[in-house]
Amino acid sequence: MNETDLDHFRQMIRDKLAELDESSAAGLDAQAVVQLDQQAVGRLSRMDALQNQAMAKAQQARRDVEAQRLRAALQRIDEGEYGYCEECGEDIPRGRLELDLAASRCVSCASG
């Protein structure tokens, strides 16, 4: 992989990280503690609010994992190891990297 390709992927990863940060900031309100106010919120409404809060926390956990994978990919770029399978050392096809910027294994190693 040449330097132009690496710069392309580096920028795509940074853009995706920025997008994840924006989504995280937007989801903070949904993760807030659900207040118990029996006068304003009925039992079913509270259960719905708690379920929405749980879903927001799960989405945040997924965003955190994806951000961690993307930061690891940036580190692999800096170390000159991006685009190579961590198991067999073969090139990871560009199409796979376009679909999953943080891919660290080729298709055969990932499916095996």
- Structurally, the chain folds into a number of domains equal to 1
For the record, the structure tokens of 26 come out as 């937007």
User: Per the domain annotation, does 74 fall within a domain?
Assistant: yes
Per-residue confidence (pLDDT) for residue 82, from 0 to 100: 97
User: Per the domain annotation, does 97 fall within a domain?
Assistant: no
Structural domain span for residue 54: 3-82
SS3 assignment, position 63: helix
For the record, the structure tokens of 77 come out as 């770029």
The whole-model pTM stands at 0.81
Tokens 């940036």 found at: 74
Distance of CA 92 to the CA centre of its chain: 20
Tell me the C-alpha distance between 109 and 2, whole Å.
23
Tell me the C-alpha distance between 79 and 73, whole Å.
10
* 102 contacts 73 by C-beta, under 8 angstroms: yes
User: Per the domain annotation, does 92 fall within a domain?
Assistant: no
The per-residue pLDDT for range 22-72, each reduced to its tens digit, is 998 877 766 666 555 555 555 667 788 788 888 988 999 999 999 999 999
